[in-house]
Structure 1
Amino acid sequence: MDESTGLTERFEEHRSHLRSVSYRMLGSLSEAEDAVQEAWLRLNRSDTGDVENLGGWLTTVVSRICLNMLRSRESRREDAMEAYPTERVVGREDTVDPEQEAILADSVGLALLVLLDRLAPAERLAFVLHDLFAVPFDEIAPMIERTPAATRQLASRARRRVKGAPAVPDADLTRQRRVVDAFLAATRGGNFDALVALLDPDVALRADKAVGPTPAPLLISGAVTVARGAMAAVQRAQSTQPALVNGTVGLAMAPRGRLFLVLAFTLEDGLITGIDVIAEPERLRELDLAVLDV
């Protein structure tokens, strides 16, 4: 086995971990793959003969790459959907399977990706590496040029923003979650009758104009009418997950980890009596979103 083959095999042993770190940092599978490939290129250009812990070395490298990508994204926020430019490796796919990304996002939690996207780059790195991958603060600190104590504070602040606080008791959240989960399952599965059964006969749905396709806010009412509208959003429902929305259970739709719209529900006696579909950027920014643990 030559040296090049051995290095490739050692890198492949860590690829899955590096992609997991990168995806949670960036919220985009294509960007995560780019970060991992850049880490591979840097490994090939580096002398790692004295490196005892290659996995730790690679995690540091890919984390710094992701941090630079996040900072670049912050400076050109209007172009955040564009992939980060990097060299390509022979055999690297230029497109990412949307189904593969949806599966990965579902396993991570879209609500978490949305909330991470709201953190500053240094906060995001500190939280992801420490809370999700158990990297010690003294190893994270040099990556963001902070002291371990300051890095701990960044992670703590990020944790508070991500976790949030429910506005109702856990028992009520559990009941809300049961109804919202059923709504999402019926929408994803195209089960019209199950969806109608969850809606109050006089349910009202309000959607702001950014939802489209109408140029003005939309108001529809009645279980059958609202259910028909939901059936038209089956594809969108694939990139939707439950989240805490202003302290109660709602749904966040976030293709590629970027918040697109939110559904806030009003429930009475186990039935949905109101749905507010929010997509206007200024309204989305005002929402208090958090990961749902119940």
Structure 2
Amino acid sequence: MGPTAHDVDRFMAARPRLEAIAYRLLGSASEAEDAVQETFLRWQAADVDRIRVPEAWLTKVLTHLCLNQLSSARARRETYVGQWLPEPLIEGDPMLGPADTAEQRESVSYAVLVLLERLSPNERAVYVLREAFDYPHREIAAILDISEAASQQILHRAKERVAAGRRRTAIDEAAARRVIDEFLAAATSGRTEPLVRLLTEDAVAVGDGGGKAPARAKAFEGAVAVAKFMRGLFVPSKAKRSLVGGSPALYATTANGEPALVAVVDGRVVGVMCLEVTDEGIAAVRSQVNPDKLERLSRQWAAIDRGEPVLPHTF
């Protein structure tokens, strides 16, 4: 006997939260969707009448699926072509999940998703469940089959590791737009000095092409190196236009809580550049150009009012 309409409705009510958890755990919207779908298949096969707390059961199943995925992902990323970066999501995407507290907003920022890659699967799970979804340690312990004390220790260790690499300053939409405007003006000036002034001394620039789009395998490090790269990136070139199928229009937006530029050619998103802003300046420029990691963002982008581009023709 298959699931009843009521059983399906119960799952669908939990689905947005499950997707938000999975996205934070995996850093990939497509993998998060797959994990949630597999959770639904297991829900269909279960004797749901004997499940006392469906939310807890679904969260536990999903989390363990994601932990398995994280373990296998580490092996796959050893053979990944170039740098691996998370899949960015633009403001308003429901998969970003709750954003009521500073901890919730922080946990899904692009910079923190990058830092979460340094954590073990268990550290990542405890950090996400506690910081982003405010699960008590008692429930986290039950989900992960560990003790409450172990959950508390894991969280302490995870927060220390994230904090050690975290320098972001909270930024509102107006401030994000100012950063974008200043960055574009400097990048298109044809000179490195204006860019160097906007960057921190130890700034980095990194791109993820996944072997399917051009992206340098090694990160640029230091303000001067990053500035030279950015200056060259905005120099018009027929070769660049042929790589992406035209001259991209650039739109200013916010992705994962950070100022971002979305590059669009004929309505198709071909890249997203996220800027990590600190009190000292722009500390990182992270560009996602792997088409596999732009599919969901492209669907979201097509459904919103994008406004006018800040730069109608990039190169």
Q: In structure 2, what residue type is equivalent to 1:52?
A: R
In the alignment, the residues of structure 1 paired with residue 275 and residue 206 of structure 2 have an alpha-carbon distance, to the nearest angstrom, of: 22
Aligned positions, number: 228
Kindly indicate whether the alpha-carbon contact (under 8 Å) linking 1:110 and 1:240 is maintained by their aligned counterparts in 2.
Answer: yes
Higher fraction of helix: 1
**Runs (4+) of structure 1 moved beyond 6 Å?**
178-181, 204-215, 217-221
| Distance apart, 1:38 and its partner CA | 0.5
Query: Which aligned pairs between 1:74-93 and structure 2 lie closer than 5 A?
Result: 74-79=74-79
Kindly indicate whether the alpha-carbon contact (under 8 Å) linking 1:220 and 1:226 is maintained by their aligned counterparts in 2.
Answer: no
Q: In structure 2, what residue type is equivalent to 1:184?
A: I
In the alignment, the residues of structure 2 paired with residue 69 and residue 214 of structure 1 have an alpha-carbon distance, to the nearest angstrom, of: 24
Query: Does residue 1:16 correspond to 2:12, yes or no?
Result: no
Q: Give the match for residue 184 of structure 1.
A: 180
In the alignment, the residues of structure 2 paired with residue 165 and residue 42 of structure 1 have an alpha-carbon distance, to the nearest angstrom, of: 37
Query: Which aligned pairs between 1:249-260 and structure 2 lie closer than 5 A?
Result: 249-253=282-286, 255=288
Q: Give the match for residue 255 of structure 2.
A: none
In the alignment, the residues of structure 1 paired with residue 56 and residue 70 of structure 2 have an alpha-carbon distance, to the nearest angstrom, of: 21
Q: Deviations over 1:129-161 (max 9, x none)?
A: 011111121222244342211111111111112
In the alignment, the residues of structure 2 paired with residue 131 and residue 114 of structure 1 have an alpha-carbon distance, to the nearest angstrom, of: 16
Kindly indicate whether the alpha-carbon contact (under 8 Å) linking 1:14 and 1:55 is maintained by their aligned counterparts in 2.
Answer: yes
In the alignment, the residues of structure 1 paired with residue 69 and residue 15 of structure 2 have an alpha-carbon distance, to the nearest angstrom, of: 19
| Distance apart, 1:78 and its partner CA | 2.1
Q: Give the match for residue 240 of structure 2.
A: none
Query: Which aligned pairs between 1:225-264 and structure 2 lie closer than 5 A?
Result: 227=231, 229-230=233-234, 235=263, 238-242=272-276, 249-253=282-286, 255=288
In the alignment, the residues of structure 2 paired with residue 212 and residue 17 of structure 1 have an alpha-carbon distance, to the nearest angstrom, of: 33
Distance 1:193 1:78, change over 3 A: closer
Kindly indicate whether the alpha-carbon contact (under 8 Å) linking 1:130 and 1:136 is maintained by their aligned counterparts in 2.
Answer: yes
Query: Which aligned pairs between 1:5-154 and structure 2 lie closer than 5 A?
Result: 5-79=5-79, 101-103=89-91, 104=93, 108-154=108-154
Residue 193 of structure 2, aligned match among 200, 203, 218: 200
The farther-off stretch of 225-234 and 54-63 is: 225-234
Identity %: 28
Distance 1:119 1:198, change over 3 A: farther
1:49 aligns to what SS in structure 2? helix
> What TM-score do you get using the length of structure 2 for normalisation?
0.56
Query: Which aligned pairs between 1:170-181 and structure 2 lie closer than 5 A?
Result: none
Kindly indicate whether the alpha-carbon contact (under 8 Å) linking 1:124 and 1:158 is maintained by their aligned counterparts in 2.
Answer: yes
Structure label with greater radius of gyration: 1
The farther-off stretch of 125-134 and 157-166 is: 157-166
Q: Give the match for residue 157 of structure 1.
A: 157
The farther-off stretch of 198-207 and 64-73 is: 198-207
Structure 2 unpaired stretches of 5+: 82-86, 97-107, 208-213, 237-247, 251-262, 264-269, 294-315
Distance 1:11 1:130, change over 3 A: same
The farther-off stretch of 9-18 and 192-201 is: 192-201
1:118 aligns to what SS in structure 2? coil
> What TM-score do you get using the length of structure 1 for normalisation?
0.59
| Distance apart, 1:202 and its partner CA | 9.3
CA RMSD of aligned residues (A): 4.8
| Distance apart, 1:230 and its partner CA | 4.2
Distance 1:121 1:197, change over 3 A: same
In the alignment, the residues of structure 2 paired with residue 34 and residue 238 of structure 1 have an alpha-carbon distance, to the nearest angstrom, of: 23
